[in-house]
Protein backbone atom coordinates (compact mmCIF):
# COMPACT_ATOMS: atom_id res chain seq x y z
CA UNK A 1 0.00 0.00 0.00
CA UNK A 2 1.01 3.57 -0.39
CA UNK A 3 -1.58 5.79 1.21
CA UNK A 4 0.21 8.97 0.30
CA UNK A 5 -0.66 8.63 -3.36
CA UNK A 6 -3.70 6.39 -3.61
CA UNK A 7 -6.73 4.96 -1.85
CA UNK A 8 -6.72 1.59 -0.15
CA UNK A 9 -9.88 -0.25 -1.16
CA UNK A 10 -11.13 -3.52 0.33
CA UNK A 11 -13.93 -5.00 -1.77
CA UNK A 12 -16.00 -8.10 -1.17
CA UNK A 13 -17.30 -9.92 -4.23
CA UNK A 14 -20.21 -12.05 -3.10
CA UNK A 15 -20.66 -13.63 -6.56
CA UNK A 16 -23.97 -15.62 -6.59
CA UNK A 17 -24.24 -15.84 -2.81
CA UNK A 18 -26.64 -14.41 -0.21
CA UNK A 19 -30.37 -13.90 -0.48
CA UNK A 20 -32.03 -10.71 0.71
CA UNK A 21 -32.47 -12.06 4.24
CA UNK A 22 -28.81 -13.17 4.32
CA UNK A 23 -27.86 -9.66 3.19
CA UNK A 24 -29.91 -8.07 5.96
CA UNK A 25 -28.27 -10.27 8.60
CA UNK A 26 -24.79 -9.55 7.23
CA UNK A 27 -25.43 -5.80 7.16
CA UNK A 28 -26.51 -5.79 10.78
CA UNK A 29 -23.41 -7.71 11.81
CA UNK A 30 -21.00 -5.66 9.72
CA UNK A 31 -22.38 -2.32 10.89
CA UNK A 32 -21.64 -3.32 14.47
CA UNK A 33 -18.10 -4.42 13.62
CA UNK A 34 -17.06 -1.54 11.35
CA UNK A 35 -14.02 0.28 12.72
CA UNK A 36 -14.29 3.96 13.63
CA UNK A 37 -11.02 4.92 11.96
CA UNK A 38 -11.17 6.29 8.45
CA UNK A 39 -8.47 4.63 6.46
CA UNK A 40 -9.58 2.24 3.75
CA UNK A 41 -12.61 2.39 1.50
CA UNK A 42 -14.97 -0.57 1.72
CA UNK A 43 -17.00 -1.94 -1.17
CA UNK A 44 -19.50 -4.79 -1.37
CA UNK A 45 -20.34 -6.29 -4.75
CA UNK A 46 -23.73 -7.87 -4.20
CA UNK A 47 -26.05 -9.81 -6.56
CA UNK A 48 -27.90 -7.34 -8.79
CA UNK A 49 -31.34 -8.09 -7.41
CA UNK A 50 -30.26 -7.07 -3.91
CA UNK A 51 -28.58 -3.81 -4.91
CA UNK A 52 -31.43 -1.43 -3.91
CA UNK A 53 -31.78 -3.13 -0.52
CA UNK A 54 -28.03 -3.19 0.06
CA UNK A 55 -27.78 0.52 -0.73
CA UNK A 56 -30.46 1.17 1.90
CA UNK A 57 -28.93 -1.20 4.46
CA UNK A 58 -25.51 0.46 4.23
CA UNK A 59 -26.74 4.04 4.07
CA UNK A 60 -24.63 6.41 6.19
CA UNK A 61 -21.78 3.91 6.49
CA UNK A 62 -18.46 3.86 4.66
CA UNK A 63 -19.57 0.79 2.70
CA UNK A 64 -20.21 1.52 -0.98
CA UNK A 65 -22.33 -0.90 -3.00
CA UNK A 66 -21.10 -2.32 -6.29
CA UNK A 67 -22.48 -4.40 -9.12
CA UNK A 68 -20.72 -7.53 -10.39
CA UNK A 69 -21.36 -6.84 -14.06
CA UNK A 70 -22.85 -4.33 -16.48
CA UNK A 71 -23.84 -4.32 -20.16
CA UNK A 72 -21.89 -2.11 -22.53
CA UNK A 73 -24.85 -0.75 -24.48
CA UNK A 74 -26.93 2.12 -23.17
CA UNK A 75 -30.25 0.36 -23.74
CA UNK A 76 -32.05 -1.98 -26.09
CA UNK A 77 -32.92 -5.60 -26.83
CA UNK A 78 -30.52 -7.35 -24.43
CA UNK A 79 -32.73 -9.66 -22.42
CA UNK A 80 -31.62 -10.15 -18.86
CA UNK A 81 -29.00 -7.40 -18.89
CA UNK A 82 -28.59 -4.17 -16.90
CA UNK A 83 -27.21 -0.86 -18.14
CA UNK A 84 -24.72 1.34 -16.33
CA UNK A 85 -27.32 4.11 -15.98
CA UNK A 86 -29.76 1.71 -14.30
CA UNK A 87 -27.09 0.78 -11.76
CA UNK A 88 -25.98 4.36 -11.16
CA UNK A 89 -29.54 5.49 -10.53
CA UNK A 90 -29.89 2.88 -7.79
CA UNK A 91 -26.92 4.26 -5.89
CA UNK A 92 -24.25 1.86 -7.18
CA UNK A 93 -20.76 3.38 -6.99
CA UNK A 94 -18.49 0.67 -8.42
CA UNK A 95 -18.85 -2.16 -10.90
CA UNK A 96 -16.66 -5.22 -11.44
CA UNK A 97 -15.73 -5.56 -15.10
CA UNK A 98 -14.08 -8.57 -16.71
CA UNK A 99 -14.07 -10.97 -13.77
CA UNK A 100 -12.46 -14.23 -14.90
CA UNK A 101 -15.69 -16.13 -14.16
CA UNK A 102 -17.53 -13.91 -16.62
CA UNK A 103 -14.76 -14.29 -19.18
CA UNK A 104 -14.84 -18.06 -18.73
CA UNK A 105 -18.59 -18.78 -18.50
CA UNK A 106 -20.13 -15.87 -20.43
CA UNK A 107 -17.62 -15.38 -23.21
CA UNK A 108 -16.49 -11.93 -22.18
CA UNK A 109 -13.48 -10.82 -24.17
CA UNK A 110 -10.93 -8.06 -23.72
CA UNK A 111 -12.88 -6.09 -26.33
CA UNK A 112 -16.22 -6.30 -24.52
CA UNK A 113 -14.38 -5.50 -21.30
CA UNK A 114 -13.08 -2.31 -22.95
CA UNK A 115 -16.60 -1.35 -24.07
CA UNK A 116 -17.94 -1.98 -20.56
CA UNK A 117 -15.25 0.24 -19.03
CA UNK A 118 -16.35 3.08 -21.31
CA UNK A 119 -20.05 2.50 -20.54
CA UNK A 120 -19.41 2.47 -16.79
CA UNK A 121 -17.33 5.66 -16.88
CA UNK A 122 -19.93 7.43 -18.99
CA UNK A 123 -22.60 6.67 -16.38
CA UNK A 124 -20.43 7.83 -13.48
CA UNK A 125 -19.60 4.36 -12.13
CA UNK A 126 -16.10 3.45 -10.97
CA UNK A 127 -14.91 0.30 -12.75
CA UNK A 128 -13.02 -2.46 -10.93
CA UNK A 129 -11.18 -3.97 -13.89
CA UNK A 130 -10.17 -7.61 -13.34
CA UNK A 131 -7.18 -9.16 -15.04
CA UNK A 132 -5.35 -12.39 -14.38
CA UNK A 133 -3.51 -15.27 -15.97
CA UNK A 134 -4.36 -18.96 -16.06
CA UNK A 135 -2.13 -21.62 -14.53
CA UNK A 136 -1.00 -22.67 -18.02
CA UNK A 137 0.03 -19.11 -18.83
CA UNK A 138 1.96 -18.80 -15.57
CA UNK A 139 3.74 -22.08 -16.17
CA UNK A 140 4.62 -21.05 -19.72
CA UNK A 141 6.17 -17.86 -18.34
CA UNK A 142 3.90 -15.47 -20.26
CA UNK A 143 2.11 -13.92 -17.25
CA UNK A 144 3.46 -10.39 -17.57
CA UNK A 145 2.96 -10.28 -21.34
CA UNK A 146 -0.61 -11.51 -20.99
CA UNK A 147 -1.48 -9.10 -18.17
CA UNK A 148 0.06 -6.23 -20.15
CA UNK A 149 -2.15 -7.13 -23.11
CA UNK A 150 -5.26 -7.33 -20.93
CA UNK A 151 -4.60 -3.97 -19.26
CA UNK A 152 -3.79 -2.20 -22.53
CA UNK A 153 -6.86 -3.55 -24.30
CA UNK A 154 -9.22 -2.82 -21.42
CA UNK A 155 -8.00 0.77 -21.09
CA UNK A 156 -7.92 1.60 -24.80
CA UNK A 157 -9.39 5.06 -25.32
CA UNK A 158 -9.70 5.87 -21.61
CA UNK A 159 -8.46 9.45 -21.07
CA UNK A 160 -5.93 10.16 -18.31
CA UNK A 161 -8.37 12.24 -16.29
CA UNK A 162 -10.71 9.23 -15.95
CA UNK A 163 -7.97 6.95 -14.69
CA UNK A 164 -8.30 7.99 -11.08
CA UNK A 165 -11.78 6.42 -11.16
CA UNK A 166 -10.47 3.01 -12.20
CA UNK A 167 -9.33 0.25 -9.87
CA UNK A 168 -7.37 -2.63 -11.36
CA UNK A 169 -7.76 -5.99 -9.62
CA UNK A 170 -5.09 -8.60 -10.28
CA UNK A 171 -6.73 -11.98 -9.83
CA UNK A 172 -4.66 -14.97 -10.97
CA UNK A 173 -7.27 -17.50 -12.10
CA UNK A 174 -5.45 -20.37 -10.40
CA UNK A 175 -5.78 -18.62 -7.04
CA UNK A 176 -9.54 -17.94 -7.20
CA UNK A 177 -11.59 -20.10 -4.86
CA UNK A 178 -8.78 -22.64 -4.65
CA UNK A 179 -7.24 -21.73 -1.31
CA UNK A 180 -4.01 -21.39 -3.24
CA UNK A 181 -2.99 -17.75 -2.81
CA UNK A 182 -0.27 -16.18 -4.90
CA UNK A 183 2.71 -15.48 -2.68
CA UNK A 184 3.05 -11.85 -1.66
CA UNK A 185 6.07 -11.67 -3.91
CA UNK A 186 4.27 -13.14 -6.96
CA UNK A 187 1.29 -10.84 -6.44
CA UNK A 188 3.48 -7.82 -5.78
CA UNK A 189 5.50 -8.44 -8.93
CA UNK A 190 2.44 -8.49 -11.18
CA UNK A 191 0.84 -5.48 -9.49
CA UNK A 192 4.09 -3.58 -9.98
CA UNK A 193 4.07 -4.59 -13.65
CA UNK A 194 0.47 -3.36 -14.01
CA UNK A 195 1.49 0.02 -12.62
CA UNK A 196 4.41 0.11 -15.05
CA UNK A 197 2.03 -0.53 -17.97
CA UNK A 198 -0.18 2.34 -16.82
CA UNK A 199 2.89 4.55 -16.48
CA UNK A 200 3.80 3.81 -20.10
CA UNK A 201 0.24 4.35 -21.33
CA UNK A 202 -0.19 7.60 -19.37
CA UNK A 203 2.47 9.03 -17.07
CA UNK A 204 4.03 8.59 -13.64
CA UNK A 205 1.44 10.75 -11.89
CA UNK A 206 -1.50 8.74 -13.25
CA UNK A 207 0.24 5.42 -12.46
CA UNK A 208 1.05 6.50 -8.92
CA UNK A 209 -2.59 7.34 -8.19
CA UNK A 210 -4.20 4.11 -9.43
CA UNK A 211 -5.43 1.66 -6.81
CA UNK A 212 -4.38 -1.91 -7.64
CA UNK A 213 -5.98 -4.76 -5.73
CA UNK A 214 -5.03 -8.38 -5.35
CA UNK A 215 -7.72 -11.08 -5.42
CA UNK A 216 -7.58 -14.85 -5.13
CA UNK A 217 -8.00 -16.73 -1.83
CA UNK A 218 -7.21 -13.60 0.15
CA UNK A 219 -8.22 -14.05 3.76
CA UNK A 220 -7.76 -12.80 7.31
CA UNK A 221 -4.48 -14.71 7.63
CA UNK A 222 -2.66 -13.66 4.47
CA UNK A 223 -4.13 -10.15 3.98
CA UNK A 224 -1.51 -8.22 5.96
CA UNK A 225 1.41 -9.76 4.10
CA UNK A 226 -0.16 -9.14 0.69
CA UNK A 227 -1.10 -5.56 1.60
CA UNK A 228 2.44 -4.87 2.77
CA UNK A 229 3.56 -5.04 -0.88
CA UNK A 230 4.09 -1.48 -2.12
CA UNK A 231 1.95 -1.94 -5.24
CA UNK A 232 -0.96 -3.82 -3.64
CA UNK A 233 -3.49 -1.22 -2.51
CA UNK A 234 -6.34 -3.44 -1.44
CA UNK A 235 -8.14 -6.68 -2.07
CA UNK A 236 -11.02 -8.14 -4.05
CA UNK A 237 -12.24 -10.87 -1.79
CA UNK A 238 -14.61 -13.70 -2.63
CA UNK A 239 -15.11 -16.47 -0.06
CA UNK A 240 -13.75 -14.56 2.93
CA UNK A 241 -16.13 -11.64 2.32
CA UNK A 242 -19.18 -13.82 2.98
CA UNK A 243 -18.52 -13.88 6.70
CA UNK A 244 -18.67 -10.47 8.40
CA UNK A 245 -16.03 -11.35 11.00
CA UNK A 246 -13.55 -12.60 8.40
CA UNK A 247 -14.21 -9.58 6.19
CA UNK A 248 -13.68 -7.17 9.10
CA UNK A 249 -10.34 -8.78 9.89
CA UNK A 250 -9.19 -8.04 6.35
CA UNK A 251 -10.43 -4.45 6.67
CA UNK A 252 -8.54 -4.16 9.94
CA UNK A 253 -5.40 -5.53 8.30
CA UNK A 254 -5.72 -2.77 5.68
CA UNK A 255 -6.11 -0.20 8.45
CA UNK A 256 -2.84 -1.16 10.15
CA UNK A 257 0.32 0.91 9.80
P1 LIG B 1 -11.86 -16.03 -3.59
O2 LIG B 1 -11.44 -14.98 -2.58
O3 LIG B 1 -13.01 -16.86 -3.13
O4 LIG B 1 -10.68 -16.83 -4.07
O5 LIG B 1 -12.40 -15.22 -4.87
C6 LIG B 1 -11.63 -14.21 -5.40
C7 LIG B 1 -12.43 -13.50 -6.43
O8 LIG B 1 -12.70 -14.02 -7.49
C9 LIG B 1 -12.92 -12.15 -6.09
O10 LIG B 1 -13.45 -11.52 -7.22
The torsion defined by the Cα of 204, 208, 209 and 211, in degrees rounded to 10, comes to: 130
Binning pLDDT at 50, 70 and 90, where does residue 2 land? confident
Determine which helix (DSSP H) or strand (DSSP E) holds 129, and give its type and residue range: strand 126-131
Shortest-distance Cα residue to atom 5 of ligand 1: 238
| Inside any domain, residue 3 | no
Cα separation, 136 vs 112, in Å, equals: 23
- For the CA of 219, the closest atom of ligand 1 is 2
CB burial class (10 A; 0-12, 13-18, 19+) of residue 155? buried
Q: Are 87 and 44 in contact (CB under 8 A)?
A: no
* Ligand 1 first shell, C-beta below 6 A: 13, 99, 171, 176-177, 215-218, 236-240
Average pLDDT over residues 165-175: 97
Q: Say whether pLDDT at 196 is over 90.
A: yes
| Inside any domain, residue 19 | yes
| Inside any domain, residue 245 | yes
Q: Say whether pLDDT at 83 is over 90.
A: yes
Instruction: Identify the domain containing residue 196 by its residue range.
Output: 9-254
Average pLDDT over residues 28-43: 88
Cα separation, 113 vs 253, in Å, equals: 31
Average pLDDT over residues 150-177: 97
Q: Are 117 and 155 in contact (CB under 8 A)?
A: yes
Is 171 one of the annotated active-site residues of the chain? yes
Cα separation, 57 vs 179, in Å, equals: 30
| Inside any domain, residue 13 | yes
pLDDT value of position 4: 84
pLDDT value of position 36: 80
User: Residues for the chain: how many in total?
Assistant: 257
Report pTM. 0.97
| Inside any domain, residue 166 | yes
| Inside any domain, residue 24 | yes
Give me the number of domains the chain comprises: 1
Cα separation, 149 vs 163, in Å, equals: 17
Binning pLDDT at 50, 70 and 90, where does residue 257 land? low
CATH code at position 194: 3.20.20.70
Diameter over CA atoms, the chain: 50
Distance 16 CA to ligand 1 centre (A): 12
Binning pLDDT at 50, 70 and 90, where does residue 70 land? very high
Distance 76 CA to ligand 1 centre (A): 31
Binning pLDDT at 50, 70 and 90, where does residue 24 land? very high
Q: Which position among 32, 74, 99, 101 bears the catalytic label? A: 99
Q: Which position among 118, 139, 171, 257 bears the catalytic label? A: 171
Amino acid sequence: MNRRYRKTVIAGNWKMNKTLSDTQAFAQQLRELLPRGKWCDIVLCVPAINIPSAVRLFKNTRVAIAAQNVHFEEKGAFTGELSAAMLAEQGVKYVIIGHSERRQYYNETDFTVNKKIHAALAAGLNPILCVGESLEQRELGVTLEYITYQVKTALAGVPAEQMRRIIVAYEPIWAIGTGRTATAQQAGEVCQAIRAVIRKLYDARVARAVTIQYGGSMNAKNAAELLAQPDIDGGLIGGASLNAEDFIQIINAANQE
